[in-house]
Structure 1
Amino acid sequence: MSALALAGTAQAEDACGSTPAGWNAPNGAVVFDRSFGPIRDILDAIGEYRTHSMLSHGPGATVSHATMANPSQEPSPEVCGKPMSGFDLRYGYPGLEQINQGGIYMNLYGKDSGPEWTGWQQGNPSQAALIGDSLWFNHAYVSDRSRVDLGQYIDRPVRNGARVNYSLFQYRVVETAHQIPGGAVNGGMVCSTFMAYAHNYAGRGVVTPHTYSHAQLANAVNSLYTGVFNECKESLGWFTGAMLTMACPSSNVCGNAGNQVANCMSTNQCDTADSRPWKGVRDDPHATAISISPDRIGGWGVHPLDNTIWGPDYSHQLQWNSGGNVYGCWQ
């Protein structure tokens, strides 16, 4: 999602392209990265490091993850008061998907410099392979045509018979999305919720969520608002182009953008740029967040090592050296 990176990785706008080679992450390993954008602002505010997590199906093979493309902007004149499509924010596309090395390379890098850091953890190789194989061979899916290249197909694992959206509200409340059968509002997941789901789906156990204090929640939502506002002011990400050149003399467009994303993540009210919903959460001393972050998947910081089979492992360097040159798309 370019510099906005709502999905946790600094996604380039280029949706299709080729890899110079495939990555070296083993089957069932979880691949992490740290990229710039509002998700990083949130995680920095609560003292965490990793911004995105993905499930590798082996060196040079396919990848399963949950991600989100650029939200479309509202048409004029609505864009001045509500910059982003509330539908796109609530039901993030593509959501849960399985793509090849070309697709994941373009998702991470495109024409940009890519993440600040990448790495992978496997833990017990046989246990990790069970996770990779269970999702790849056993899970129901549908295939969609790429929105960018109609000749390319993207597999979409389904849950309860429906495609799985990317839901920003998962950062606030995980609900039962990590459980089997489980579920959540918007029918959605984020990247680390999906990793917990895959872990459970393969019979490796329930990944317990973490409760973040009110002080952490308040810091996170303040940082989220500020991050989106600053990207808008600096014309980064999808904020380049028509929206900022449009005459909105009586509207704080960038403030409205920050309010809209903060509302979506904190209250699931994605259609309003009124600041009262997210500020109400920030100012409620009883409000907390219950979620599963990439750091929790990897057993970093305050998170226990034994919550996942990946946690006891150290971070291995992600390298693109498995050979091959694969074309693919991530949306």
Structure 2
Amino acid sequence: MRRLLVGSVAVSALVLAGAAHAEGECGSTSAGWNAPNGAVVFDRSNGPIRDVLDAVGEYRTHSMLSHGPGSTVSHATLATPTQTDWPGVCSKPINGFDLRYGYPGLEQINQGGIYMSLYGDGTGPEWMGWQQGDPTQAALIGDSIWYNHAYVTDVSKHDSGQYLDRPVRNGARVNYSLFQYRDLQSTHQIPGDAVNGGMVCSTFMAYAHNYAGRGVVTPHYYSHAQIANASNSLYTGVYNECKASLGWFVNAALTVACPFSNVCGNAGNQVANCMSANMCDTADGRYWKSVRDDPNATAASISPDRVGGWGVHPINNTIWGPDYSHQVQWNSGGNVYGCWQ
């Protein structure tokens, strides 16, 4: 039987909320969650992913595959990307490589790790819930990813005595790729692939569903008006958090360190470029604006709401969709220490 492996998060001045939950890297939980094996656990948290999904009328911001009450969790997430070295940080605040090839990406961690991922910043999600659907079908998904899928083991960046499993695809670790929100390509297919070797939380859930033989989760196609609104919302959200030294930019003080640069505008451009055009290493706003202003530009992706069959999304697209949302409770036994990167 595989070891129960864990991970932690590196914390720098940039804090990516929503896609990544920071500041607590490692810690313990006195009880594990109640989500059954194969259930998908959803949350709604602040950050740039919420800005995008709110703009297209969707609610959930993150999705995770539970391997049972008090057991391990598989999910795709993005830890804090590093800053560009001085003085380049003023014109391009975020390391473009870290933004494009997000770490840790797809990982498997224990209850201590996922608790710190969700609550390590001292606030936690606004909402959480789980859906299982058919228990037998759901368990096949949980077991297939946990027992049958190829993986490698990495040492935690913050606790050398802790480890995390990282499932591999096409022989490589799976990165977190923001471009998945614009175009998931064939991530949901078997064998499938995508640029940056990447997934996000919900495209991983679609992949897991298909990998276990439960069927293809079809993507949703977003109109030009929707992606234009989402692009504006993403840029504005990052800009405002930077100006207020919140979220991504807690304690960064970049506006003080770079008094003659529009550092917050540069940060907003860089993230919007990355998500809309997969151009993560430039803060030239013309790239995301060219997508926003192209009437033929659309998007195809699978969001957490689509995984759960919420809103405009059909409930029969996944085995989880027909279920209603159950409250996540931390009431299974044990005191588990873990990290999430």
Q: Is residue 244 of structure 1 aligned with residue 258 of structure 2? A: no
CA contact (8 A) 2:75 2:201 kept: yes
Aligned to 2:117: 107
Aligned to 1:77: 87
CA distance in 1, matches of 2:214, 2:14: 34
CA contact (8 A) 2:16 2:22 kept: no
CA contact (8 A) 1:4 1:228 kept: no
- Equivalent of 2:65, from 55, 63, 70? 55
CA contact (8 A) 1:22 1:61 kept: yes
Q: Is residue 89 of structure 1 aligned with residue 91 of structure 2? A: no
**Counterparts in 2 of 1:244 and 1:189: CA distance versus 1, 3 Å:** same
CA contact (8 A) 1:10 1:36 kept: no
Aligned to 2:304: 294
CA contact (8 A) 2:58 2:311 kept: yes
Aligned to 1:303: 313
CA contact (8 A) 1:28 1:58 kept: yes
Q: What SS class does the counterpart of residue 321 from structure 1 fall into?
A: strand
CA distance in 1, matches of 2:55, 2:23: 27
Residue type of the alignment partner of 2:309: G
Aligned to 1:16: 26
CA distance in 1, matches of 2:135, 2:157: 36
Q: What SS class does the counterpart of residue 105 from structure 1 fall into?
A: helix
For residues 165-188 of structure 1, give each alpha carbon's deviation from its aligned partner in whole angstroms, at most 9, with x where no partner exists.
Answer: 000000000000111000000000
Aligned to 2:161: 151
Which stretch shows the higher mean deviation, 154-163 or 240-249?
240-249
Residue type of the alignment partner of 1:230: N
| TM-fit CA distance, 1:321 | 0.3
CA distance in 2, matches of 1:204, 1:86: 36
CA distance in 1, matches of 2:79, 2:26: 13
Aligned to 1:281: 291
Residue type of the alignment partner of 1:314: Y
For residues 252-284 of structure 1, give each alpha carbon's deviation from its aligned partner in whole angstroms, at most 9, with x where no partner exists.
Answer: 000000000000000000000000000000000
Alignment gaps of 5+ in structure 1? none
Residue type of the alignment partner of 2:323: D
For residues 147-186 of structure 1, the aligned pairs below 5 Å read 147-186=157-196
| TM-fit CA distance, 1:237 | 2.9
| TM-fit CA distance, 1:11 | 1.0
For residues 55-88 of structure 1, give each alpha carbon's deviation from its aligned partner in whole angstroms, at most 9, with x where no partner exists.
Answer: 0000000000000000100111000000000000
| TM-fit CA distance, 1:287 | 0.3
For residues 12-43 of structure 1, give each alpha carbon's deviation from its aligned partner in whole angstroms, at most 9, with x where no partner exists.
Answer: 21111101200000000000000011111111
CA contact (8 A) 2:35 2:66 kept: yes
Residue type of the alignment partner of 2:232: N
| TM-fit CA distance, 1:201 | 0.2
Alignment gaps of 5+ in structure 2? 1-8
| TM-fit CA distance, 1:111 | 4.1
CA contact (8 A) 2:14 2:82 kept: no
Aligned to 1:207: 217
CA distance in 1, matches of 2:16, 2:267: 13
CA contact (8 A) 2:15 2:249 kept: no
CA contact (8 A) 2:190 2:211 kept: yes
- Equivalent of 1:66, from 76, 93, 100? 76
TM-score (norm 2): 0.94
Q: What SS class does the counterpart of residue 173 from structure 1 fall into?
A: coil
For residues 191-270 of structure 1, the aligned pairs below 5 Å read 191-244=201-254, 246-270=256-280
Q: What SS class does the counterpart of residue 260 from structure 2 fall into?
A: coil
Aligned to 2:5: none
TM-score (norm 1): 0.97
CA distance in 2, matches of 1:294, 1:19: 25
CA contact (8 A) 2:28 2:112 kept: yes
| TM-fit CA distance, 1:317 | 0.2
CA contact (8 A) 1:12 1:112 kept: no
Residue type of the alignment partner of 1:38: P
Figure out how many residues of one structure are paired with residues of the other and give that number: 331
